[in-house]
A = this chain, B = another copy of it.
Amino acid sequence: MGNTIGEIFRLTTFGESHGPAIGGVVDGMPAGVKIDLDAVQHELDRRRPGQSAIVTGRNEGDRVKMLSGLYEGVTTGTPIGFVIENENQRSGDYDNMRDVFRPSHADYTYAQKYGIRDHRGGGRSSARETAARVVAGALARQVLSLSGINVYAYTSQVGDIELDRDYRKYDPAKIEDNIVRCPDAVVAKRMIELVECVKRDGDTIGGVITGVATGVPVGLGEPVFGKLHAALGAAMLGINAAKGFEYGLGFDFARCRGSEVIDNFKIGSDGSIDIENNNSGGIQGGISNGKDIYFRVAFKPVATLLRDVETVTAGGEAVALKARGRHDPCVLPRAVPIVEAMTAIVLLDFLLQNRCSRI
């Protein structure tokens, strides 16, 4: 239910922003995989707060500690429990929010649903929880790479500044060349300037992340309710601040005629069947067709502004609130590794599920 994702490769996470630790359990990891723990930590570092001038200043080491499931560095098929300690909490920053509902945050809905909430740093609704997903994603990624599957994501839009929709125009090797994680250096510079600008204003800005998976074999996806893109969509929409998901041409399909956008089959020079165009985004009928999978995820601007906001208390009193915590003016740069992680988690789960599709 709430805190577990996956059917066979399954991640369960726990932890609040200001509790002793966050962490998770990865179940269903196939046995026999040699794990590169440095690579796992590397992904965490990409998501880490405090990594650049355009992200939150909360300075967490975010060291993951593996507690089980590995023996002499190799997966044993038993669950991998792990924790990341919360070190740099400044819970005092949130004292003024104990009874206040921050607008467009989850404070109000958690309070109403559960009748109680940990107000410190958003508690469970904090994006800090996604660090556990990055750990699981980094593990999944290492399994996927054994099958030749690669996953990457990049910032393709910040405010009005956007890249061309065609992901093939960009070199994934350049994503990490700048702090906004946009593979086009010129556009990246403009994005960074925009984020710095809104940050100076105590404001925040939305954007879009494009995700891509290459090397995915034909056959992943479990119709009718386990379609691959539906699972990817749910995984992306489950990321904090995500508000939209589309794959292939997505919403642009709405304007098109069938004759304009059909993905024709063709016979390759070696006699094999291939697919032209790939407007479908690598998935047809909910099942991967062997072409690149690509999709876009819309993120709203962070709701925490470093300026006075009018809001209300739990008691029903109007108050002015000025955030004192350390916050991201734009979630995109740090969300890139999260999009990648969730993609890897979903793909590995479906790769395993697909082992049972035939006798």
Judged by a CB distance under 8 angstroms, whether A53 is at the interface is no
Determine the chain B residues whose CB is within 8 A of the CB of A103 once the complex forms.
262-265
Which 5 pairs of residues, A with B, have the shortest CB-CB distance?
A106-B285, A244-B246, A14-B81, A204-B258, A109-B287
With A1-B226, A15-B81 as known contacts, state yes or no: A255 contacts B286, CB within 8 Å: no
Determine the chain B residues whose CB is within 8 A of the CB of A204 once the complex forms.
257-259
Judged by a CB distance under 8 angstroms, whether A300 is at the interface is yes
A276, closest chain B residue (CB): B103
Q: B301, A251: Cβ atoms under 8 Å?
A: no
Other A-B pairs, 16, CB within 8 Å; known A19-B67, A208-B254: A2-B27, A13-B224, A30-B356, A32-B358, A71-B116, A77-B116, A109-B218, A159-B254, A206-B256, A227-B238, A230-B237, A234-B234, A243-B248, A260-B301, A261-B300, A264-B309
Question: Mask for A259-288, Cβ within 8 A of B = 1, else 0?
Answer: 111111111000111010001110111111
Question: Mask for A29-64, Cβ within 8 A of B = 1, else 0?
Answer: 011110000000000000000000000000000000
CB distance from A158 to the nearest CB of B (A): 8
Determine the chain B residues whose CB is within 8 A of the CB of A356 once the complex forms.
8, 28, 30, 352, 355-356
Determine the chain B residues whose CB is within 8 A of the CB of A288 once the complex forms.
109
Determine the chain B residues whose CB is within 8 A of the CB of A259 once the complex forms.
201, 203-204, 305, 307
Q: A250, B244: Cβ atoms under 8 Å?
A: yes
Measured CA separation A105–B205 after assembly (Å): 38
Q: Which of A117-125, A163-171, A172-180, A181-189 interfaces with chain B?
A: A117-125
Judged by a CB distance under 8 angstroms, whether A222 is at the interface is yes
Judged by a CB distance under 8 angstroms, whether A333 is at the interface is no
Q: A280, B104: Cβ atoms under 8 Å?
A: yes
A281, closest chain B residue (CB): B243
